Amino acid sequence: MSYSEAEKFGEAVKILRNRKKLTQEVLSQKACVDTKYLREIEKGMHSVGLEITLRLCKALGVNRFELFTLAWEKEYKVYKKSVADKQTKNNCPSDLTNRLFFLVQYN
């Protein structure tokens, strides 16, 4: 299933909210957003601007990096795996292999 950017963001907000054991009502109050709007954010129905993102982060007790990392974590893992697969397919050694080869060769 392909998720939109708004759905990834909303899922991350929901995961963090649940980790903090907050209800949607409590989080919406802390972030100064309408509860209905927060529900729709969590469902991926809205692309959220910077101001709301920052308010949600503050209310959740996380920084932007943590929120966005969680939102795009799966996508990064898929990308990282595809790069590793290409390196293996092309017999292209990893960066670590290149460094080890260099150390052995010149020491």
Per residue in 42-93, pLDDT tens?
Answer: 999 999 999 999 999 999 999 998 998 888 887 777 767 776 666 666 665 5
Work out whether the CA dihedral 30, 66, 12, 4 comes out positive or negative.
positive
pTM of the model: 0.70
The Cα angle at residue 79 between residues 82 and 86, in degrees rounded to 5 = 20
106 or 73, higher pLDDT? 73
pLDDT at 89: 66
In this prediction, what percent of the chain has a pLDDT beyond 70?
A: 72
